């Protein structure tokens, strides 16, 4: 009994890393053969998503997560569902067309409020009383950066169908949906899958 557990743990660890590197290899292949419609990469320009994403991080982006589109258009060929609360997404700013990366925090039908940088969805706080800088999106825990406060509040309101509210995790330092408004779901054209390079740490594969 004393020898079996370490072997099982080692085997599980080995399978985990094989799966992670296999995923990484697939993304590299997709980046090579079909960047515009299957996969792409993105360099984080600012700290608006800290600590999840740091300035200079390089992100693997899944262009197929929400369907297949004709490159450089919004014409959808295959529908694979819509973004979910907690997804980190890439889209063009409704204000000026700049490419942005933010987190979907509320979708059509959600009643949302934001107070001191912390979210309430359908009247329920997403954070715990003893850990107010961590929000729960289903089984995904997201650490917020509240070092500069929470930024502008959002009064209680319901998100219309087909729309999404996107925010940065660095709530006091993010030009997000509080400034440019809601974003059509169809405009969220890719999902950030993983950080594959971080300054000071080098290459890796940290899932988002």
Q: Can you give the residue ranges of every domain in the chain?
A: 4-207
Residue 23's pLDDT band (cuts 50, 70, 90): low
pLDDT value, residue 133? 96
Matching residue, tokens 């090579």: 32
Mean pLDDT over the full length of the chain: 86
Higher-scoring residue by pLDDT: 70, 76: 76
- Backbone dihedral angles phi then psi of residue 119, each to the nearest 5 degrees: -95, 145
Question: Mean pLDDT highest for which of 28-42, 58-72, 148-162?
Answer: 148-162
Element containing residue 91 per DSSP (H, E): strand 88-92
- Segment 21-50 shows an average pLDDT of 69
Matching residue, tokens 């004709």: 70
Residue 67's pLDDT band (cuts 50, 70, 90): confident
Q: What is the rounded distance in angstroms from the CA atom of residue 87 to the CA atom of residue 191?
A: 7
- Backbone dihedral angles phi then psi of residue 21, each to the nearest 5 degrees: -70, -30
Q: Is 176's pLDDT higher than 90? A: yes
- Segment 47-59 shows an average pLDDT of 97
Give the percent of the chain with pLDDT over 90.
70
Give the percent of the chain with pLDDT over 70.
75
Determine how many CB atoms are found less than 10 A away from the CB of residue 206: 15
pLDDT value, residue 64? 87
Task: Give me the catalytic one of 46, 48, 132, 174.
Answer: 48
Instruction: Provide the CATH number for the domain formed by 4-207 in this structure.
Output: 2.10.109.10
Residue 48 CA, chain-centre distance (Å), reads: 12
Tokens of residue 128, six digits: 């715990």
Question: What DSSP character marks residue 199?
Answer: T
Sheet (strand 127-128) strand order: 127-128, 131-137, 140-143
- Segment 75-95 shows an average pLDDT of 86
Question: What DSSP character marks residue 152?
Answer: S
pLDDT value, residue 48? 98
Q: Which is nearest to 205 in space by CA: 49, 24, 9, 53?
A: 24
Tokens of residue 39, six digits: 């996969």
Q: Is 2's pLDDT higher than 50? A: no
- Segment 88-115 shows an average pLDDT of 96
Higher-scoring residue by pLDDT: 36, 172: 172
Task: Give me the catalytic one of 37, 93, 102, 187.
Answer: 102
Report in angstroms the alpha-carbon separations of 4 from 10, 18, 140. Answer: 10, 21, 32
Q: Is 8's pLDDT higher than 60? A: no
Q: Give catalytic status of residue 48 as yes or no.
A: yes
pLDDT value, residue 13? 67
- Segment 89-110 shows an average pLDDT of 96
């Amino acid at each position: 009994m004393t020898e079996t557990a370490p072997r099982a743990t080692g085997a599980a660890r080995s399978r985990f890393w094989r799966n992670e590197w296999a995923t990484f290899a697939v993304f590299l292949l997709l980046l090579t053969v079909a960047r515009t419609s299957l996969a792409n990469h993105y360099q984080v320009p600012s700290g608006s998503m800290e600590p999840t994403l740091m300035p200079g991080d390089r992100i693997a982006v899944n262009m197929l997560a929400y369907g297949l589109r004709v490159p450089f258009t919004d014409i959808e060929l295959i529908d694979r569902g819509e973004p979910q609360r907690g997804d980190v997404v890439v889209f063009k700013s409704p204000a000026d067309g700049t490419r942005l990366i933010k987190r979907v925090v509320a979708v059509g039908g959600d009643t949302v409020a934001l107070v001191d940088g912390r979210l309430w969805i359908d009247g329920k706080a997403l954070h715990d009383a003893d850990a107010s800088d961590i929000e729960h999106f289903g089984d995904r825990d997201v650490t917020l950066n509240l070092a500069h406060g929470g930024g502008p509040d959002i009064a209680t309101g319901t998100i219309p169908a087909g729309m999404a509210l996107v925010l940065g995790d660095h709530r006091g330092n993010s030009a997000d949906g509080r400034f440019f408004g809601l974003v059509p779901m169809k405009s969220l054209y890719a999902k950030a899958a993983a950080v594959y390079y971080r300054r000071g740490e080098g290459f890796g594969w940290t899932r988002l």
